[in-house]
Each structure stands twice: as structure tokens, then as C-alpha cells.
Amino acid sequence: MYPPRFRYERPASLDEAIGLLSSGRGEAKVLAGGQSLVPLMKLRFAAPELLVDINDLPGLDHHRVDADGSLHIGALCRHASLERSTILPDTQPTMAAAAPLIADPIVRTRGTLVGSLCHADPQGDWAAVVMALGGSVVAQGPSGRRSIASRDFVTGPFENTLAYDEVAVEAVIPGPTGARAGGYLKLERRVGDFATAGVAVAIEHTQGTIGRAGIALTGVGGATIDARDAADSLSGQRLDAATIARAAELAAEAARPRTDHRGSAAYKKHVVHTFVTRILTRISTTEEEAA
């Protein structure tokens, strides 16, 4: 399969990339890992006139923790870098759990987290993880940089709030306000398939009392779902059988799955309930063992 014709540019600087996007007047797309965009173009669901390949831009392949504890993931940081990260296992349990579950190992060598957020596929795993962690996307355009909270970033399936002349340069996860715990579980029929259902849980606690909490759901609605009520039910609480059960119920209620070849709507809600229970129970057990 060939995509429709397009013009291809590989700028050497971010300013040049932004200039090219401006000249595209909405008909240009950024090419980073290309693991979602190239298939879409081949299937002719996307037909940009201009591709701006940012792979030569310097200083975008990082993921690092700043002094304030915030994690910064550059637009060219590949899934594989996050999977092999020495930073994430100790500081970002939800991300560390998700990294090996993104697509398949070969796609992970090229695909990027920031690209996945921009692609805004309701089935995208990273969107749920970043939403649960209260993360944001940093966009740079002709008039400077702005930060967009992940819950405001996606406006619909495959649509985000970037202006046409903006490049998403970084995703940022805020520093923790307590001890961080969490997980990501995904049911897939085989490696590389879209999630039947996925659940991201991220909590911060002080000696077992939960402060900030986030729960977000993959693949069980027309967009990534922020299970806010479920997360809020945990704030100020300690994890026990009752609080875990309540959060799992509320998360399953927040899910809006459709029956399809991957399973019935009721089944997918059940999976969400089970995954929230499993992640929180494991956190609770781990904390008890550590205490």
C-alpha cells in the first residue's frame, strides 16, 4: 500500500519545523516515530500534504527528572527507551508497568510517548497513564511555549488541541507529593492488539493515607476516560477491602464500553473492575509488607 503523495521536509531546528508547520496551514503533520501515522496514511485515513520529520531535531530524545521531581519526556523519546529506563522503576510505577505493554517490541523501537498522546487514539495506553498521573503536554509554536493538561489535550478520537503551527515537544509528569504507587494492566488478545480494556492507577500516599489519586481507562469509550469519581473516592483514605471495592465499582461505572469482537460491554466493565481491584490490592499488600 502506498500513501497519497506528500511533500517531505526534515528540518534541523525546532524553529524551522514550526516555520514549516505554519507554511502548511493545517495540511501538515509532524512525523516522529510514525508507527501510527504511517499506517493511517497507507490506509488513506490521513493524507497530509506536508510531513515535517522531526527526527533530526536535537535535544528531544530525553526522559529525565528535574529538581522539583517532575519527569520530562521529549518528543523523540521512544517507547523502548522508557521500557529500558533506569529512572522509571523507582520513580514512576504506573509508567514502568505500561512501558513493556505498548504495541510490540519492534514498534517500540520507533514509536514515541508524545506521538502517542498527540495521535489521541482512544485505545492508546500512554494517554491513560499520563491522565492518571495528572500530566501535561508542552507545545511550542511561533509565539512561544504553553502547557496543556492531558485532560484538556484530547478533544475527540484522533483530535487534539494543538494549533497547526505547534509542535508537542515534551510530556511532563508533575513531581510527587508523597510516596508514589500504581500500576497499569491491559487485556489484549495478543501482543500488539488494541486493548480490550486497560486501567492506569496512580496514587500518592503519606504513610498509607492517600493524597493525590488518578485512575484512567483505555479502550472502554470513545476517548480515554478519566475515572475521577473513582480516584476521588480514594483521596484521604487508606487502602482496605472497602475502599478498594468502592474505587473499583466507580471505575467500572465510569467505563463506557461497546460490545464488539473483543468482548461484550458488560465483560469489559467487569475487566475494569477486576483490574482496579488487582492494582490497588497489590499496592496495599506491598505497603503492608514494607511496613
Partner 1 sequence: MTSLFDEVAEPAADGVQVRRVTITVNGRKRTADIEPRLLLAHLLRQGLRLTGTHTGCDTTNCGACTVLVDGQPVKSCTMFAVQADGHEVTTVEGLAGASELHPLQEGFKQEHGLQCGFCTPGMMLAAKALLDENPDPTEDEIRWALSGNLCRCTGYQNIVKSVLWAADKMRGPQSEAPAEPDESEKP
**Residues at the site binding partner 1, with contacts judged by CB under 8 A:** 1-8, 10, 31, 34-35, 38-39, 41-43, 51, 53, 55, 80, 103-107, 109-110, 191-192
Q: Which is nearer to partner 1, 11 or 34 (CB)?
A: 34
- Secondary structure class of 139 (helix, strand, coil): strand
Q: Which H or E run includes 213?
A: strand 209-218
Structural contact between residues 17 and 56, judged by C-beta atoms closer than 8 angstroms: no
Q: Which is nearer to partner 1, 135 or 198 (CB)?
A: 198
Minimum Å gap between C-beta 80 and partner 1 is: 8
Q: Which is nearer to partner 1, 115 or 135 (CB)?
A: 115
Residue 107's closest CA among 36, 184, 183?
A: 36
Residue 215's closest CA among 259, 175, 249?
A: 249
Q: Which is nearer to partner 1, 43 or 266 (CB)?
A: 43
Q: Which is nearer to partner 1, 188 or 226 (CB)?
A: 188
* Cβ partners under 8 Å of residue 40, min gap 6: 46
Q: Which is nearer to partner 1, 38 or 179 (CB)?
A: 38
**In whole angstroms, how far apart are CA 222 and each of 134, 156, 158, 252?**
20, 8, 10, 15
Q: Which is nearer to partner 1, 98 or 132 (CB)?
A: 98
Q: Which is nearer to partner 1, 1 or 67 (CB)?
A: 1
Helix 265-290 × helix 241-254 angle, to 10°: 150
DSSP state of 178: S
Residue 128's closest CA among 211, 186, 89, 84?
A: 186
Residue 153's closest CA among 174, 136, 140, 141?
A: 136
User: Where does the chain have alpha helices with state H?
Assistant: 14-24, 37-42, 79-83, 88-91, 93-98, 105-108, 113-119, 125-132, 150-153, 228-232, 241-254, 265-290
Terminal-residue alpha carbon distance, the chain: 57
Minimum Å gap between C-beta 32 and partner 1 is: 11
For residue 20, the Cα-to-chain-centroid distance in whole angstroms is 27
The DSSP bridge pattern shows strands 63-65 and 225-226 to be unpaired
